[in-house]
Structure 1
Amino acid sequence: MAPAEDDISIEEKRVYIGTAGRTDAYVATGSGVVRVALSADKVGAFDMVSRAPARDVAVLPRDEKADLVGIATGDGLRVAPVGDDPEFVRVAADPADAAGVHDGAFLVAGEDGGIDRVAVDVLDGSPTAAAVSRIGSVTQPRAVDGPLVAAADGVYRVTEAGGASTARALTAVGLDDARDVAGAGMPLAATGTGLYWLGNGWMTALEGAAEAVAADGDGHAMAVVDGDLWIHASDAGEGGADAWDDGTWRPTDLPVDEEAVALGYGPGLSVAVTAAGTLCVDAGDGWRHQVVGVRDAAGVALAVVE
């Protein structure tokens, strides 16, 4: 079992973060958004950066500018630049159930099933919506990642409309009861009957009730199936008929006897947040963990700070 982060002194954490760089994990919970500072597998300070009950969280990378953190809330999408003291500003008013990022903008799933593309500018440090466009609708949206949307009536993909038009559209691509999706690299979908990867149609990776999935686009992936956490190894490859079947996944034990409910990736980092409010991080040498003191985790997203 990995040592609890309580065994690492605050001074050690400061030294490590100062020399190894920092990635922040933003955890969406029913109590608000908790930010946790990470440096490799060391867990540093954590604090509540928004007290608006959050249903999901996503990070929008930007070249040569601070990344943007977006949270889906009951009163819309709130956005803040990554920084020491983020101030979240509402940029879209419709109640949002899920949020992701794709093609330089946020993708937001509303309570009504509408899927909106929200482009955001930052003027004088304050985010504002530059453009909001409806690209389609689904039944009971549950998750957004990259170009994929998970919904009660299956998986959808954001596509170009085709022809002379450059407008985006939402296309149904199959399955049913989709609970989560991973849109980086190999498309993956967690459903009530199993975890699937997109080969010649949707292929079964793992059977069982799959609740969460995440991928880094470089062959690494994690999924929660029947309450167990499974890992896909990058050396299994991106292609080939059997690159993502059940033989390429292995179960892993977290350092706490708790079920993971939210999964995410950062540079060289895997993160799992449990239902009991424990954040677990693996930088390649096994899991370490820290209790962050909030329950009802609904999502996690990582942003590089330095």
Structure 2
Amino acid sequence: MAPAEDDISIEEKRVYAGNAGRTDAYVATETGLVRVAFSADKIGAFDMVTREPARDVAVLPRESAPALLGIASSDGLRVSLVDDAIDPVTVTDEPVVAIGVGGETTDDGARAGGDAFCVATEEGGIDRVTVETTADADSEDDGSPPAFTVTSTRIGEVAEPRAVDGPLVAAADGVHRITADSAADSGWSLASVGLDDARDVAGAGMPLAATGTGLYWLGNGWMTTQGGDATVVAADGDGHATAVVDGDLLVRDGRDDSDTGDDWDRDAWRETELPVDEEAVALGYGPGVAVAVTAAGTLCVDAGDGWRHQVIGVRDVTAVALAERE
């Protein structure tokens, strides 16, 4: 069993920006957004950075500017720079239930469009939202939030959207894929790719879907990894993946043929136990780490040597997203 957070010294907790670099986990909850800083599996400071209910959260990396934090809320899409101070600005006014980072596929199957948020609205609309800061916003230091230029493009609609990840959308009527489409007026199209009652999707690397009847991977059609009540799934694009099926946490370790091989069936996964007797409801990946957050508000981190954990003092967890800081 991984050591409990009480076994980690105060000094260890402070050294969360050491050789492994600092990663921030943003945990969306019904009471606000909590940020937890860690380095590898050493968990450091945590604080509540917003106090408005957050339905979902995503981090959009940018090459020449600070990453963007996107928050799905009943007021719309809220955006902030990823920085020490988080100050979200509402940039769309239609209630949002799910958000992901673009990773749309082109007509020939290649990836494109990873420079935008993809959001799902309460009414089922799927929008591609590009957000740019003004020329001097990234360097402003006067305490005011930056100005954003926003372009929102409606791609299509689904029934009861639940999650967005890369090019995939999970909805009550199954899994849908976003594709760059030069023939469409918007330049993008949305197509159903099967299954029913999709609760979550992982669009990095091998497409994965968690549904009411099981966990699936996309081989020659959707292939069953394990039957049961699958609720959440996450992947890092390098063959690592985690999922919850019937309350059990399953882990797939990375392999070189993770995107092209046929080894995503049940034998490729192992069951693991968190260091707390709680069910994971949100999963995510950062540089070299897997993260699981429980419904009771415990954040667990695995950097390859077992799980460590920290109680963050919030309940009603809805999602987690990770940002590399240093």
Fold match by TM threshold 0.5: yes
Partners of 2:15 and 2:42 within 8 A in 1: no
- Work out whether residues 238 and 255 of structure 2, in 8 Å CA contact, stay in contact via their aligned partners in 1: no
Deviation at 1:165, TM superposition (A): 6.7
Distance of aligned partners of 1:186 and 1:92 in 2 relative to their CA distance in 1, 3 Å threshold: same
Residue 105 of structure 1 is aligned with which of 109, 113, 116?
116
Per the TM alignment, residue 239 of structure 1 is displaced from its structure 2 partner at its CA by 4.9
Question: How much has 1:163 moved relative to structure 2?
Answer: 4.5
Q: Matched residues in 2 for 1:200 and 1:88: separation?
A: 42
Contact 1:145 1:182 in 2 (8 A): yes
Cα distance in 2, alignment partners of residues 16 and 181 from structure 1: 30
Corresponding residue of 2:82: 82
Query: TM-score under structure 2 normalisation?
Result: 0.90
Contact 1:236–1:244, Cα closer than 8 Å, also in 2: no
Structure 2 residue 62 is the aligned partner of structure 1 residue 62 = yes
1:156 is aligned to 2:180: no
Cα deviation, residue 242, structure 1: 3.2
Letter aligned with residue 14 of structure 1:
R
Q: Which residue of 1 aligns with 2:225?
A: 205
What RMSD over aligned residues (CA atoms) do the two structures have, in Å? Answer: 1.5
Moved more, 180-189 or 227-236: 227-236
**Structure in which a larger fraction of residues adopt strand:** 1
**In the alignment, which residue of structure 1 is the partner of 2:35?**
35
Runs (4+) of structure 1 moved beyond 3 Å?
162-166, 239-242
Return closer, same or farther for 1:3/1:241 CA change in 2, 3 Å cut-off: closer
Equivalent pairs counted in the alignment come to 306
Q: Which residue of 2 aligns with 1:143?
A: 163
**Structure 1 vs Structure 2: percent identity of aligned residues?**
67
Letter in 2 for 1:34: V
Asked whether the equivalents of residues 160 and 166 of structure 1 are also in contact (C-alpha less than 8 Å), the reply is no
Residues 184-195 of structure 1: pairs in structure 2 closer than 5 A: 184-195=204-215
The CA distance in 1 between the partners of 2:147 and 2:271, in whole Å, is: 41
Aligned to 2:107: none
Length-normalised TM-score, structure 1: 0.96
Q: Distance in 1 between matches of 2:224 and 2:26?
A: 31
Deviations 1:54-89 (CA, angstroms, capped at 9, x unpaired): 000000010021111101000001111111111111
After the TM superposition, which residues 207-222 of structure 1 pair with which residues of structure 2 at under 5 Å, given as runs?
207-222=227-242
Mapped to 2, the partners of 1:49 and 1:221 lie a distance apart of 28
Whether 1:242 aligns to 2:255 is no
Query: Alpha carbons of 1:152 and 1:127: their partners in 2 closer, same or farther (altered >3 Å)?
Result: farther
Q: Deviations over 1:96-134 (max 9, x none)?
A: 000001120000100000011110011224152431110
Q: Which has the larger displacement, 118-127 or 243-252?
A: 118-127
Give, in whole Å, the separation in 2 of the partners of 1:241 and 1:39: 32
Unaligned runs of 5+ in 2: 103-113, 139-145
1:113/1:141 contact within 8 Å kept = yes
Match of 1:119 in 2: 130
Query: Do the aligned residues in 2 keep the contact of 1:5 with 1:42 (CA within 8 Å)?
Result: no
SS at match of 1:20: coil
Cα 1:298–1:193, aligned 2, differ >3 Å: closer, same or farther? same
